[in-house]
């Protein structure tokens, strides 16, 4: 056993750790503790960043839902407004059509009245001319003059009786 190289390697190994173990162990433990603390800090930072990211996601989701709700409300309002404008335009068009129809009827009625007046005037002119022709043929010239003179003389009394 004393002549065995494994034995002396094991003894050297244990002596090395006994002599230098404390000097190596303290910095090694400090380095490991520092690394553990750094990892713990990184994990805390990662957890904090995750919480912030989740909060930002919730905020973004909430803002998206709010924007969608506003967009829906805006679309509904726009549709209602468009419907109202279309209804107003329809009523206005019906009103304009009714006014134009009434104007056309008024023009037709005025044209009818004008035509009736013209026909009456022509009928009166024809009747007067026919009466003149008939009287000229039927009555001698002196008798016609006497009728006119008598009519002119009776005119004031006829007008006064009509006014009363």
Residue 14 lies in a domain: no
Does a structural domain hold residue 44?
A: yes
Number of structural domains in the chain: 1
Query: Please, which residues have CB within 8 angstroms of residue 144's CB and are 6 or more apart in sequence?
Result: 135, 136
Task: Provide the percentage of residues in the chain whose pLDDT is more than 90.
Answer: 55
pLDDT band at 142 (very low <50, low <70, confident <90, very high): low
- 8-state DSSP, 84: H
Using the CB atoms, write b or e for 43-74: b if 16+ within 10 Å. Answer: eeeeeeeeeeeeeeeeeeeeeeeeeeeeeeee
Which DSSP category does 3 fall into?
A: T
Nearest CA to 113 out of 105, 73, 63, 41 is that of 105
pLDDT in tens, 104-114: 999 999 999 99
Which pLDDT tens digit goes with each residue over 26-79?
888 889 999 999 999 999 999 999 999 999 999 999 999 999 999 999 999 999
- Inside any domain, residue 54: yes
């Amino acid at each position: 056993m004393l002549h065995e190289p494994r034995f002396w390697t094991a003894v050297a190994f244990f002596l090395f750790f006994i002599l230098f173990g404390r000097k190596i162990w303290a910095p090694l433990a400090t380095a490991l503790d520092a690394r553990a603390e750094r990892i713990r800090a990184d994990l805390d930072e990662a957890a904090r960043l995750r919480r912030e990211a989740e909060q930002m996601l919730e905020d973004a989701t909430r803002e998206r839902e709010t924007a969608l709700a506003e967009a829906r409300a805006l679309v509904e309002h726009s549709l209602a407004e468009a419907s109202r404008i279309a209804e107003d335009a329809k009523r206005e068009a019906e009103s304009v059509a009714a006014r134009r129809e009434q104007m056309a009827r008024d023009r037709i009625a005025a044209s009818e009245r004008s035509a009736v007046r013209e026909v009456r005037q022509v009928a009166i002119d024809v009747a007067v001319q026919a009466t003149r022709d008939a009287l000229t043929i039927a009555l001698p010239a002196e008798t016609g003059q006497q009728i006119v003179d008598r009519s002119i003389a009776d005119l004031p009394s006829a007008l006064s009786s009509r006014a009363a």
